[in-house]
Amino acid sequence: MKKKILLLLCSFAVIYLVNFTIPRLMPGDPFDYQSAAAGEESSTEMTEELKEYLRSYYGLDKPFFSQLWENIKNNLRGDLGYSIHYKRAVSELLMERLPWTAFIMLGALLLSLVLGTALALLGLRRKKADGCLYALFSLLGELPHFLAGILLLFLVAARVDWIPLSGAVTAFGIYYSEWDWVKDVLLHALMPLAALTLVTVPSFYFTARASFLSILEKPYILSARAKGLGEGRIRFHYIFRNALPPIVARFFLSVGSAIGGTMLIENVFAYPGMGTVMREAVKYRDYPLIQGVFLLSTVLVLLSLLAADLINAANDRRRGASL
């Protein structure tokens, strides 16, 4: 386990460096893209003097390593910097956007976990359904996130009146009760959730299926039958409970691709999560914001990988002695 943690720390260090370097390798800098009105394409040219002034104001004129050092020091203090484009603290901006992204991502993952597991259970008893699902999910699993989003947008959302096409809530909406607001939020989340779930379900289905099949082969399932236990008891206490750990681990392992997927899908549906803010940040070379977005997602992904490892290790220990 110590080795695992060390490995994750090393990964973190490497990603941190890359996060810091890559934006600065892109052509141009924030001030080439600086605009008069936030969110609009730049039309006003800034004078070179002004740019120089702003560069030194944001410390971007300093050598690479002193910028890096400065950045590390600030980050350690919990300061993620100041967005050049939005002109707000990056941490504040992220805290505002994170809930939406987390909502879509966790919602889709939970939905996928439940759906995938349920379908795998169904497949255990119906071989035909299992065959169809297997083929279908093999295809779906390869679908890129953004494509799933676009397909849903064009094929479903555009044709069904009551499904909103973009945003997280109705613009300037007036709500008469909290419930109204919840309904509105859920309705807006429907398409992004569906898109992400569509792509994530297959991995849960395959994991659950493999786990169930391996548990069914276990000697203790035969013992349970020999003990004359009820079918329900065998299914829950013997099959389901023992098959669960890999499925839960799959949840945490999926966080990585799900974060990326969510960000892409958010852009398809103009959903106000971290994905849309990241697009803006990249477009305007907003270094602190780009770094902030990536830092946050890196931490989330690495922590979930650690969680998955912990679950798997605990599960292996449990089985290990029974070999």
Partner 1 sequence: MAPLLDVRELSVSYPGFSLHPLSFSLDRGEILAVVGESGSGKTTLLKGLACLTEEGTEVSGQVLLEGRELLGMKEEQRRQLRMRSFAVAFQNSSAWLNPGMTLREQLKEVLHRGYPPREIPGRMRELMETVGLNPEDLGRYPRELSGGMAQRFLLATAIALEPGLVLLDEPTSSLDVAARDAFAALVQRLNREKGIAFIIITHDMKLAQLLSSRIMVLYNGHVEELGSTGDILDYPRHPYTRGLINASMGLNIVRDVWGIRPAVPVERGHHGCPFYGRCTQSLPLCAHQAPELKDWGDGRLIACNRGGIVTLLEGRGICKSYGRQRVLNGVDLSIRSGEVAALVGRSGSGKTTLAQILGGYLEDYEQGGLLFEGKAADMDALHRRERGVQMVFQDSETSLNPHMTVLQAAAEPRLLAKLGMEEERARRALADVGLPSDEDFLKKKIKTLSGGQKQRLSIARALTMAPAVLLADEPSSMLDPSSKANLLRLLKSLQNSHGFSMLLVTHDLESALKVADRCYLLKEGRLQELRISDYVSSSIDGVFVD
What residue has token string 């974060």?
A: 259
Q: Is 76 in the site for partner 1 (CB under 8 A)?
A: no
| Cβ at position 318, least distance to partner 1 in Å | 5
Quote the CA–CA distance of 120 and 47 in Å, as a whole number: 63
Q: Is 247 in the site for partner 1 (CB under 8 A)?
A: no
- Using CB under 8 A, pick the residue from 28, 78, 228, 232 that binds partner 1: 228
- Using CB under 8 A, pick the residue from 5, 222, 303, 314 that binds partner 1: 222
Q: Is 323 in the site for partner 1 (CB under 8 A)?
A: yes
Q: Is 237 in the site for partner 1 (CB under 8 A)?
A: yes
Q: Is 28 in the site for partner 1 (CB under 8 A)?
A: no
Q: Is 229 in the site for partner 1 (CB under 8 A)?
A: yes
- Using CB under 8 A, pick the residue from 27, 63, 78, 219 that binds partner 1: 219
Q: Is 218 in the site for partner 1 (CB under 8 A)?
A: yes
Q: Is 126 in the site for partner 1 (CB under 8 A)?
A: no
Q: Phi and psi (nearest 5°) for 139?
A: -75, -50
| Cβ at position 322, least distance to partner 1 in Å | 5
Q: Which of 314, 274, 318, 269 is nearest to 294 (CA)?
A: 274
Nearest CB to partner 1, comparing residues 8 and 229: 229
| Cβ at position 188, least distance to partner 1 in Å | 41
Segment 93 to 122, residues that bind partner 1, using CB under 8 A: none
Q: Which of 205, 211, 217 is nearest to 242 (CA)?
A: 211
Q: Is 214 in the site for partner 1 (CB under 8 A)?
A: no
Nearest CB to partner 1, comparing residues 36 and 323: 323
- Identify any residues that bridge with 82 across adjacent strands, giving them in sequence order: 89
Nearest CB to partner 1, comparing residues 4 and 225: 225
Nearest CB to partner 1, comparing residues 183 and 241: 241
Q: Is 233 in the site for partner 1 (CB under 8 A)?
A: yes
Q: Positive or negative CA dihedral for 38, 278, 105, 156?
A: positive
CB burial of residue 261 (10 Å; 0-12, 13-18, 19+): buried
Residue range at the interface with partner 1 (CB under 8 A); choices 75-83, 154-162, 217-225, 267-275: 217-225
What is the binding site for partner 1 (CB under 8 A)?
A: 218-220, 222-230, 233, 237-238, 241-242, 317-323
